[in-house]
Structure 1
């Protein structure tokens, strides 16, 4: 059985959907904090059990009978996420899982200005010491284009701090790749980079947006502190603004610029491009 955590979230929710195209539902289980939110999966025959990263006993029970466990990285900003990841890995080991997979990040490293990269590096290190086969799914960046680019359709500008090349993927492709790895006979041992062959910049987004929308979209580089001040004036907590700023700073130092062809190989096609994603955004 394959057990997936975070299955009511966007990424691993997609992973479960792709698994259901490959496996009977009786071969799939999910471990979720709120089983009511996974009722749609239970209705389709997926095993649903309650388990949170702060509940080792419940978590271990939710992993029972698992051959593989896919752990989503914690997004709980109020928690000790390193401890949560260790708890989840320990529970999977104690439940007898033969392989543990973890949703990591492209560019993961201890030496980085962007905190999630060090958190993921710690989780990968703990996995390597677990004594169980493991795979780190080092996904490229994914998310909502509105958050990445800002209101460019209204303003005609992408006004953000200076950036460098970064791996941007469509969440659907990341979910499909995870399901492919989970159902593959290939070992995929250790870190696996799931990034496009060509990194992009915000200037690339501006050029594509201009071409697709038929209007000029300008990339404007905003000074770091000026951008933080603007975000806080708009109601964003300063800690959140500086967290996002750290991501832009990490792109400048090349943390996310390494190309890779593994994602294309797993999908059997090229990943969805930024043009594809912008087209969907424009269409509404």
Structure 2
């Protein structure tokens, strides 16, 4: 049985939908913190069980009979959260092994690095080391940076007409739907051991490029205004944004300036059999959805 954790989240649910196109529903199980939110999957024949990364016993029940386990990474808010997040991942890896799974698939990131300025990348790199030392076969999905984050950053600018942020660098923005399709392909075909190539969108675009595309799609000008890291911090603090969140945002800009997310790779296109969605396509889909 293929077990998917975090199946109530955006990526986890999308992976389940893709798996349902490839394998019978009875061969899929989901591990979720709130089974009630996954009732629709249960009605379609998917096995739904409660699983909490802070509760090994619940995971053991959720992973029962697993042949493969997709561990959708836990979210962290900053460096202080990394130890807890790593413990959660260790528990999930250990439980998958005890359940008899032959392989763990993990949702990592193209910028995974123990020295990154962006805390989630340290989290991913440490988890990949756990997997490497676990003795279980694994595939680490080096996912491109989620395009949904760019949509969040441009969202306020669409209202104000200004995107105010520090200097940045090109990012290979990637659609959740494409990454979910790739994950399902890898799980069902058991391609790639260890780290995958970077699974990225078709082009790397910086904030200036995002503003230009957004202006073209909307038919009105959005301005890109560059401020210093310190001024950005002060602006965020004046808006009541928590310090940990501010540090995360500044870390992302620092990492992008260093080119950590700029590499474009054809691996995702090969996996899904078509060109990945561009940022322009993702933006248009988002606008259409909001208007609908």
Match of residue 215 from structure 2: 210
Match of residue 252 from structure 1: 257
**Does residue 144 of structure 2 align to residue 140 of structure 1?**
yes
Q: Is the 8 A contact 2:71 2:92 kept in 1?
A: yes
Match of residue 45 from structure 2: 45
Q: Is the 8 A contact 2:203 2:278 kept in 1?
A: no
- Give, in whole Å, the separation in 2 of the partners of 1:236 and 1:100: 36
**Map 1:61-140 → 2, pairs under 5 A:** 61-75=61-75, 77=77, 80-140=84-144
**Does residue 246 of structure 2 align to residue 241 of structure 1?**
yes
Match of residue 275 from structure 2: 270
Q: Is the 8 A contact 1:209 1:278 kept in 2?
A: yes
How many residue pairs match? The answer is 283
Cα distance, 1:3–1:80 mapped onto 2, change above 3 Å? same
Deviation at 1:156, TM superposition (A): 2.2
- Give, in whole Å, the separation in 2 of the partners of 1:234 and 1:210: 25
Match of residue 9 from structure 1: 9
- 1:148-200 Cα deviation digits (max 9, x unpaired): 224222222222111111121111111111111111143x1111121124211
Match of residue 194 from structure 1: 199
- Give, in whole Å, the separation in 1 of the partners of 2:108 and 2:273: 22
Cα distance, 1:109–1:268 mapped onto 2, change above 3 Å? same
- Give, in whole Å, the separation in 2 of the partners of 1:210 and 1:147: 16
**Alpha carbon RMSD of aligned pairs, Å?**
1.5
Q: Is the 8 A contact 2:173 2:203 kept in 1?
A: no
- 1:171-230 Cα deviation digits (max 9, x unpaired): 1111111111111143x1111121124211111111111222222222211211111111
Q: Is the 8 A contact 1:106 1:167 kept in 2?
A: no
Question: Could you say what secondary structure the match of 2:244 adopts?
Answer: helix
- Give, in whole Å, the separation in 1 of the partners of 2:227 and 2:64: 51
- Give, in whole Å, the separation in 2 of the partners of 1:270 and 1:55: 40
Deviation at 1:257, TM superposition (A): 1.3
Deviation at 1:16, TM superposition (A): 0.4
Structure 2: runs of 5 or more not aligned: none
User: Would you identify which runs of 4 or more consecutive aligned residues in structure 1 move more than 4 Å?
Assistant: 76-79
Deviation at 1:146, TM superposition (A): 4.1
**Does residue 149 of structure 2 align to residue 179 of structure 1?**
no
Deviation at 1:144, TM superposition (A): 4.6
Deviation at 1:118, TM superposition (A): 0.9
Richer in helix (by share): 2
